[in-house]
Structure 1
């Protein structure tokens, strides 16, 4: 009887360990955030249905030491400052107006009703400069017809062929980054066993001299109107003064 009970206990413990309490971050990579921005750390808490979360705690470990940021034991939870908030049962931590003292290793610790704890960590570093934005032209030659080969993409900018040596081309040649390929007439040529396909994208030229001339004409017109209005007012007042005399 005892042997049977022990076997059942071992199986129950194994099931609890296999399906029990756990916490992890959905994004496994370290985070980078710029000063003054908002930091959002989202963790995923897994537990078996019979388990209850007793407490969720967030801490940050920096060169200056470790400090408790927030504790959740029921909504809305407790935080250590107005910049800090926790949501989704303590699984999400938000810090607004990030400062130098906020960079470090963050730890979320989850405790169930039996006192069992599990934790996960995430490193957060300072973003020294923002990422560079990029505008791309994509040559899309997708179709439903089967073929044995992949299309070879050729790009022309103002009639001149560009390559990775002169521009930035990615995704097997299908994307052209415009920052390094300045022009007005962009041509995409697709060559495969299905045939040759050509597409154009034209950016209208911006005629600065005409734009400047039009702006100057508008300003002169407004100034002339004001001058004529002032002359008319002065003439009217002078005529009224003579009539009164």
Structure 2
């Protein structure tokens, strides 16, 4: 009796292990868990990673989309199956979804559901949004701390670049924060500070104008002007001296000629 009970317990344990293992064999996930942004008119490619055990096979893959600001789900494509609108196709036994000519209405949360021959189902999700151009760039200033902040409305993957007097900011001017949105000015807070925001669709900029910067070459310019004036004065003196010498020389020649005539 005890032997039969022991066999029963072992059978139950083995069955539970088998059910647990078989329930864990099928898995599906996206390598990139971050939202995907697609430029309007380009193609949307969603690649799911499906893991199977030896001997396991896929019987059905379904791609659904939940539109933005909506709870309604709609089937985009199935494998095997036919495509409803002709823009969406599935490849690699349903693991890849391709949508041609992406439009803003294609944005939303995509869910891929995989079913194997045992009827087990696994699902994973990926968020898709439209890739937007940079817009409404502005610069805010904290004069007391000599900090400039660059703001941008809703562009996708914006990159920030700072210019001072139309030239790239150097360490002598200041340093930029890690995300590029702030400029900490270490030199004289003067001149024009421009923030340029760009992404794949173009760029936009905004400029903050501070007090005019003192000219660095003012002293040099003054020295050059003094040298030029000095040169002009010396030249004029030399011309006057040359004329006077010539006049005196001509006068001596005339006096000598008169004396010779008298003799």
Relative to the length of structure 2, the TM-score reads 0.48
Q: CA deviation at 1:162?
A: 6.1
What is the aligned length? 149
The one of 15, 25, 36 equivalent to 2:30 is: 25
Aligned-partner SS, 1:119: strand
Q: CA deviation at 1:64?
A: 7.7
Q: Which residue of 2 aligns with 1:210?
A: none
CA RMSD of aligned residues (A): 3.4
1:55 to 2:66 alignment = no
The one of 44, 49, 55 equivalent to 1:44 is: 49
1:115 to 2:115 alignment = no
Q: Which residue of 1 aligns with 2:11?
A: 5
The gaps in structure 1 that reach 5 residues or longer are 136-156, 170-178, 181-245
Alignment of 1:69-108 (within 5 A): 69-73=76-80, 77-108=81-112
Regions of 4+ moved over 4 Å = 130-135, 159-163
The gaps in structure 2 that reach 5 residues or longer are 1-6, 134-155, 162-167, 181-193, 196-263
Tell me how far apart the structure 1 counterparts of residues 157 and 49 of structure 2 sit (CA, whole Å). Answer: 28
Q: CA deviation at 1:29?
A: 0.5
CA distances 1:46-93 after superposition (whole Å, capped 9, x unpaired): 1211322110010111138321111113xxx52222211111111110
Larger radius of gyration: 2
Q: Is the 8 A contact 1:68 1:80 kept in 2?
A: no
Q: Is the 8 A contact 2:64 2:110 kept in 1?
A: yes
Relative to the length of structure 1, the TM-score reads 0.52
- Between stretches 93-102 and 124-133, larger displacement belongs to 124-133
Aligned-partner SS, 1:71: strand
